[in-house]
Structure 1
Amino acid sequence: MKLVTQSFEDGKFNLKSNKHEYKDVITLHDQANDGDTYDFSPLRGDREVKLDWNGEIKAYAANDNQKLVLKGEWVLPYDLEDRNNDSGRTKKVQYILELSLNSSSKAVSGKLTVENTVLSHRLRLALNTGIESKFVHAQIQGGFRNTENLPINDNWNDEFVEKPVNIYIFDKSVGIQDNERGLYFLAKGEKEYEKIGNSVFITLMATTGELGKPNLIWRPGRASGDTTSVGHTMTPTPMAQELGKNVFEFGLEAFDSKDLNDANIAHSVYEWLSPSVSYQMQKYNLFVNRLDNKIWDIEFPDNLPEITENESWLNLDLPCEVSAIYPAYSVKDHYVLRLSNMSDKDVAVDQLKDQGYIQTNALEDNIEQSFIIEPYSMATFIKQID
């Protein structure tokens, strides 16, 4: 059984999973964004700065649920011209960070709420793993890949029109691992990462107020097209400044060596992202919103059949993930079941054959009935609707 604890000490969040401890596990970093709505680009003379976890911390516990809530604020330069100016304008940016643990999940669930009041900046969360590795292990659609930082020559513009950077895209999870452990960031919408030292920097927001801005550091010359011709004019994009409330949800999960494989990571992320449908405590008027309220008209007829036991339309116990279920497009009265094998070994799903499934390709055409899903692959099956 995995034992997970979280703590906040001396302005740092720490995470412990069994025998492994991760100090200062998440930090936030801010930097000017001199790019446009196409591309991030740094501001000349500016650098990324670490933001302190300040403010008031509170801890809550109820049954098997625990939560740390930190409320604070940062003071940040208001706009690009204020970034390299000691007397430049500043604004207060309020934030709330919530980190939750419960018995039904092995992951720490995080929620960061930022009341953005400043312009043209990039905010990133760093997952500080403390694990020595030159690779980042990133989930992509249908599998995983290892990425590493490649050297960038100072005279890169002799070969490239745009500066090559070691920023990559991921899907659902990204982390660093070695032979003994791994620490992963679980995403709800975040897609971009960069490895710096033993940390993975996840982009939360990169705001800007312009489209078609020319001559960026990373995109020199006509960075976003020819802005001098009709059809490629510079366009203000004030909504891309993302002013106001911004909410970022994420998870953190540590894996020991016995659980550290692609299939387990993918399954853990799948479970974390799956919605939990149940009754919850709600701040409703308990009289008006009673489940047995007699004031309003009855919503359903009173002759519905009585359900005396749990009923299930589809129950699958398979060594892979369900990628999609939907009505078949070309075969009448059938539905499609698409499965994803996120492991590095073949997976047999012979039980589907016994249940009346037919293996097809993505176009719902019959193919060889192997009922084998190859490593990091998907397979499609159809079945008549009972």
Structure 2
Amino acid sequence: MKIFIGSSSENNDTLDEIAQMIESIGHEPIPWTKPGLFLAGSYTANRLLEIAQDEVDAAIMLFSPDDKVWYRGSEKSQPRDNVLFEHGLFSGVLGLDKAIIVISGSKSKIPSDLNGLSFVNFNRRSSSKIELKAWIKSINKPKIKFQDKNINTDNIDFKYFMEYQEDMRKSVLDFISELYWNYDLEEGGLEEYVILVLTKFINQFIGINDARFTLRQYNPSTDSMESLISTRQDAIPGAIPMNFKNLITESAKRDKPLIYSENKEFHYTSKNKSIDKGIYHDYVTYCLLETENNEPMFSICLDVKNPIPINRMKAMVHSLIFEIICIPIIEKILLEIDKTE
């Protein structure tokens, strides 16, 4: 996939950093600084339109406080005019979901027409790179043909989630934005924040009585992924030894969430496992963070029961909604790790 990156010349360092990130995950960045992209004697606006229509699949515009303007009697900082123009052009051709804004540097004035649009804040580099990767995955997602015999694709609730997954993704992004506005990631501990986010998510999108989230952390002394936080304190699952085949290590290899019913060969069985006892009927596991050797550090599991919640869970995983909801959890974990280093 080819991704255009527009910015002011003062923001080229950030542009290069984002370009390297895009390249590292197997896609082609097309920065506006690429030699030969704009030939002498050509009209810039016409060339930009050609690029948007024929040469790229998505675009990123870096908004930074480059210019001083007077707005209603006071001085404000705003992005360079040409970057604002380019965002309008690329979003008009590609759509707002494929032409996103990345905020870089201190706060700048944003046109009122863009109020309510979700941005990526690159000032928090670790979390913003995760958000950008999730966005790239979401727009590069191929149409899925479901082969799982256990899934009821005729279920009206499942069809709703798949047909309106773009609206669902927006609802989840709005949900995350609300968290960022109302809760300071720097305050409180990991357990408090994770319980807050995941309990609110279950309430809003699945059903509190039909699901349980569990955050696991690797314990080197036992060589196992041990339950660190659970939204069901009365039913906390046990540890998963790393010397057994399991979904956590497989998720780390594939870099995506895996559903139990679609990957039963990687399910670690145990007498204490709630899925074996029939308490929960299906689940998804996702390795959130791993070492440089692809060994799991943190993982999250969502156990669900009953047909409608199971279909919702599968729809969320296949439409990348599940990965998006994990972004604030990953960001909080990274912040807590930074505090200890």
On whether the aligned pair clears a TM of 0.5, the verdict is no
TM-score interval, smaller chain:
under 0.3
TM (norm. structure 1) is 0.22
Instruction: Name the larger-Rg structure.
Output: 1
TM (norm. structure 2) is 0.24
Tell me which protein shows more helix as a share of its residues.
Answer: 2
Tell me which protein shows more strand as a share of its residues.
Answer: 1
